[in-house]
């Protein structure tokens, strides 16, 4: 069995301005292997399975609330492949069952191994020792960004997406925007909404794509993983208005910034803007638990 190709429709989000806003809902691919994760894993997994059909085994890395860990564990379950998640933070060893993402990954059959932050940081050393321990395993990097991932993102584009002036995506490690940019038309502008403060992103993206028709716009709203009341209000209003859920780390911040840019007149009149909904909705439950712990009166609906 392999991951199948899936066609995702584009829908219009009516706005009261002189631009046309659309969304491609990659979040609907699968409730758990959602969005960009599916496409970033697509060639990684399918190429590996072609070479190792007998005893496949997948290893990857992630933090406590990682969408990537959730996605890889779901792929493992879907294709009946055992998997191992290397999780940042020894302290989670005794309390991972209270973490919805890790509990979900484990229910999918993913074994979890907890390492210190220091060990986690040295990915090269960690990867080498894992490759020694599991010589035939597929080791997918954190966030799933590699060349196969960038090429998999091509599947998010098609003849319909060529019709847009702007292609918008949230940016973490840069793999998704690199794929969109690499396969975009030269007359299209690709906008990356960065949620992580990482000064090397621009170079990483240029090197992966050799293209320059992109802009990065800071959409961190105070820092990676920080959730402000205004972010929650935006997500809840957006869901009420369009019936589309967003999560607070990537897609919520991107869409909030897109609306700010529309209000500021950033996009010329009659521009056609396409935003990719990159999923990650499994993170809402964990985010709400954190908000509760912080005694915040708001929750993400």
Ligand X SMILES: Cc1ncc(COP(=O)(O)O)c(C=O)c1O
For every residue of 39-97, which 3-state class applies, written as one string? HHHHHHHHHHHHHCCCCCCEEEEECCCCHHHHHHHHHHHHHCCCEEEEEECHHHHHCHH
Interface with ligand X by CB under 6 A: which range of 4-12, 75-83, 166-174, 237-245?
A: 166-174
Contacts to ligand X from residues 133-162, by CB under 6 A:
143, 145
Single out the residue of 175, 245, 248, 252 in contact with ligand X (rule: CB under 6 A). 175
CA atoms within 13 A on the CB side of 290: 18
CA atoms within 13 A on the CB side of 274: 23
Single out the residue of 32, 44, 60, 67 in contact with ligand X (rule: CB under 6 A). 67
**Does residue 219 belong to the site contacting ligand X (CB under 6 A)?**
no
Under rule CB under 6 A, how many of the chain's residues touch ligand X? 18
Which residue from 289, 277, 251 is spatially nearest to 11, judged by alpha carbons? 277
**Does residue 251 belong to the site contacting ligand X (CB under 6 A)?**
yes
Judged by beta carbon, residue 76 or residue 172, the one nearer ligand X is: 172
Interface with ligand X by CB under 6 A: which range of 158-166, 167-175, 216-224, 227-235?
A: 167-175
Cβ atoms 45, 72 nearer than 8 A:
no
User: Which residue in 66, 83, 184, 219 is the catalytic one?
Assistant: 66
Single out the residue of 56, 63, 252, 279 in contact with ligand X (rule: CB under 6 A). 279
Q: CA–CA separation, 114 vs 91, rounded Å?
A: 8
Measured on CA atoms in the order 278, 25, 253, 12, is the torsion positive or negative? positive
Q: Which residue is nearest to ligand X (CB)?
A: 280
Single out the residue of 85, 172, 245, 286 in contact with ligand X (rule: CB under 6 A). 172
Interface with ligand X by CB under 6 A: which range of 106-114, 172-180, 218-226, 286-294?
A: 172-180
**What is the b/e burial string over 187-201, where b = at least 16 CB atoms within 10 angstroms of the residue's CB?**
ebbbbbbbbbebeeb
**Does residue 25 belong to the site contacting ligand X (CB under 6 A)?**
no
**Does residue 280 belong to the site contacting ligand X (CB under 6 A)?**
yes
Measured on CA atoms in the order 283, 284, 288, 289, is the torsion positive or negative? negative
Secondary structure letter of residue 2 according to DSSP: -
- State yes or no: is 66 an active-site residue: yes
Single out the residue of 250, 253, 273, 282 in contact with ligand X (rule: CB under 6 A). 250
Q: What is the rounded end-to-end Cα distance, in angstroms, of the chain?
A: 36
Q: Which residues bind ligand X (CB under 6 A)?
A: 35-36, 67-68, 143, 145, 170-176, 250-251, 278-280
């Amino acid at each position: 069995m392999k991951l199948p190709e899936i066609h995702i429709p584009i829908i219009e989000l009516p706005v009261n301005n002189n631009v046309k806003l659309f969304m491609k809902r990659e979040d609907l691919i699968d409730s758990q292997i959602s969005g960009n994760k599916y496409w970033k894993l697509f060639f990684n997994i399918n190429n590996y399975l072609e070479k190792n059909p007998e005893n496949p085994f997948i290893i990857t890395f992630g933090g406590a609330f990682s969408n990537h860990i959730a996605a890889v564990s779901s792929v493992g379950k879907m294709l009946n492949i055992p998997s191992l998640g290397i999780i940042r933070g020894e302290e989670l060893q005794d309390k991972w069952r209270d973490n919805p993402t890790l509990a979900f990954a484990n229910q999918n059959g993913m074994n979890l191994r907890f390492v210190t932050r220091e060990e986690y940081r040295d990915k090269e050393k960690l990867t080498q020792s894992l490759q020694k321990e599991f010589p035939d395993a597929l080791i997918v990097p954190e966030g799933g960004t590699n060349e196969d991932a960038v090429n998999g993102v091509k599947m998010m584009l098609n003849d319909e997406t060529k019709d847009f002036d702007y292609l918008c995506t949230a940016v973490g490690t840069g793999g998704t925007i690199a794929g969109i940019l690499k396969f975009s038309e030269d007359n299209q502008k690709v906008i990356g909404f960065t949620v992580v403060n990482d000064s090397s992103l621009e170079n990483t993206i240029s090197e992966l794509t050799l293209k320059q028709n992109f802009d990065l716009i800071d959409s961190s709203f105070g820092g990676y993983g920080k959730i402000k009341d205004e972010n929650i209000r935006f997500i809840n209003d957006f869901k009420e208005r369009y019936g589309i859920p967003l999560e607070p780390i990537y897609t919520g911040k991107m869409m909030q910034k897109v609306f700010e840019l529309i209000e500021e007149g950033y996009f010329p009149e009659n521009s056609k803007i396409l935003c990719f909904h990159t999923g990650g909705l499994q993170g809402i439950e964990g985010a709400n638990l954190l908000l509760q712990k912080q005694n915040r009166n708001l929750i993400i609906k």
